[in-house]
Amino acid sequence: MKAAKEIPQPGPARGGFDVRAIRKDFPILAQKVHGKPLVYLDNGATSQKPQVVIDSLSRYYAEENSNIHRGVHYLSEQATAAYEAARQKIKRFINAPKAEEIIFVRGTTEGINLVAQSYGRAFLKGGDEIIVSAMEHHSNIVPWQMLCEQTGARLRVIPINHDGELVMDEYRRLLTKKTKLVSVTHVSNALGTIVPVKEIVKLGHERGVPVLIDGAQATPHLKVDVQEIDCDFYAFSGHKLFGPTGIGILFGRSELLNRMPPYQGGGDMISLVTFEKTHYNVLPYKFEAGTPHIAGGIGLGTAIDYLEGLDWNQVISYEHELLRYATDALSRIEGLKIIGTAKEKSGVISFVFDHVHAHDVGTILDQEGVAVRAGHHCAMPVMQRFGVPATTRASFAFYNTIEEVDVLVRGIQRALKVFG
């Protein structure tokens, strides 16, 4: 995350990292589930929202609601200004060079599909190759498979080692003159691995190959600077970043975006329409057909204001400590095996038992108020790589506590007791 460069918006008090104070900003965390305090450890699936984000959604609908980029009236101007201000915040947040390079989409999935269908269909042909990694979410596999079917291109996969790290030598070997695009995740949702994306991009660029980074799991945990990473595209979701669902961002270099055909046709993405010829609008509007999720965009801007009010050096070291504590505590449970033991990891612990299935662990934890994910995490190739049908995944956010990790451990022990 970028350090705040502007006056911080409503957020927790500055100074020492006070997780108790931060938890008060997230109303849902005070809930009880099955009579027990909620322990929300499913942040990899979606994050909870601070009150300021919830308020900004209702304020938009109560006070500003109207369509953007078209009305000459007061409300439309208000809504347009708020929406475009959010774009500026997002630009600053990932340090994009230009606001026109920030395209509002529904989420990471749509961002990747946009690149596959627009860039991919325009510039790839039979025999070309696309490189992904063995730890991708389905959303960074299937759009490329669809593109391969459409164009005759071929998908190549960078393998991962037993710790869940990319085998960089294999990546170097896969990069050839046939390679036309590389698309890898920044942080693995199933394993927590932090991928050396700068190195991935550098190697791709040495061969003139553009690189897309799936940032869905990275933006909530790391300082992301697209200029430092030097990637050509970077996609992420609002809802994993403490913002609303249904809104996400695709950053793309304007040189590439300008050369790409539109993804969808409709209103807002045109400058002139006749039945003979239609002229497309300029960036970013060329890629934003139809009335967007205006409230979502504004809400995401508010989430970023909130995040910029935090001291991210503190957040990162706090999350690191939480992960270290949880890894130690879980490792001590007999029979528990952690899947994903990369040296560089973000706040995700995936684990399995030989004799107890992830679903059963998930159900028993739920009865203790602990929300985790059980299953294949939309990363079935990762499960196949490790020879497990499913894992239980605890994924953390900065509002989680050491005490919550203890509740998780006790819940796992209860599950083990049930299954003897």
Partner 1 sequence: MSELDELYQEVILDHNKSPRNFRTIENASRKADGYNPLCGDQVTVYLKLEDGVIKDISFQGSGCAISKASASLMTSELKGKTEAQAIELFDNVHKMLTGESNGQDRGKSVGKLAILSGVSKFPARVKCASLAWHTVNSALKGGEGIASTE
List residues binding partner 1 (CB under 8 A). Answer: 356-360, 363-364, 367, 374-376, 380, 383, 389-390, 418-420
Q: Catalytic pick from 356, 378, 390, 397?
A: 378
For the chain, the residue count is 420
**Which residue, 61 or 419, has its beta carbon nearer to partner 1?**
419
> What is the C-alpha separation between 372 and 370, in angstroms, rounded?
6
Minimum distance from residue 381 beta carbon to partner 1 (Å): 12
HEC string of the chain equals: CCCCCCCCCCCCCCCCCCHHHHHHCCHHHHCEECCEECEECECCCCCCCCHHHHHHHHHHHHHHCCCCCCCCCHHHHHHHHHHHHHHHHHHHHCCCCCHHHEEEECCHHHHHHHHHHHHHHHHCCCCCEEEEECCCCHHHCHHHHHHHHHHCCEEEEECECCCCCECHHHHHHHCCCCEEEEEEECECCCCCEECCHHHHHHHHHHCCCCEEEECCCCCCCCCCCHHHHCCCEEEEECHHHCCCCCCEEEEECHHHHHHCCCCCCCCCCEEEECCCCEEECCCCHHHCCCCCCHHHHHHHHHHHHHHHCCCHHHHHHHHHHHHHHHHHHHHCCCCCEEECCCCCECCEEEEECCCCCHHHHHHHHHHCCEECEEECCCCHHHHHHHCCCCEEEEECCCCCCHHHHHHHHHHHHHHHHHCC
Judged by beta carbon, residue 266 or residue 389, the one nearer partner 1 is: 389
Least distance to partner 1 from the beta carbon of 368, Å?
A: 10
Q: Which is nearer to partner 1, 230 or 360 (by Cβ)?
A: 360
For the CB of residue 420, give the shortest distance to partner 1 in the complex, in Å: 7
Residue closer to partner 1, measured from CB, 208 or 387: 387
Nearer to partner 1, 293 or 376 (CB): 376
Burial of 417 (0-12, 13-18, 19+ CB in 10 A): exposed
| Closest distance to partner 1 from the beta carbon of 355 (Å) | 8
Alpha-carbon dihedral angle through residues 112, 117, 120, 124, given to the nearest 10 degrees:
150
Closer residue to partner 1, CB minimum distance, 213 or 356: 356
Q: How far is the CB of 227 from partner 1 (least distance, A)?
A: 39
Q: Is residue 378 flagged as an active site residue? A: yes
Q: How far is the CB of 186 from partner 1 (least distance, A)?
A: 25
Please report how close the Cβ of residue 98 comes to partner 1 at its closest, in angstroms. Answer: 40
Q: Cβ closer to partner 1: 211 or 388?
A: 388
- For residues 222 and 228, the answer to whether their CB atoms sit within 8 Å is no
Residues carrying an active site annotation: 378
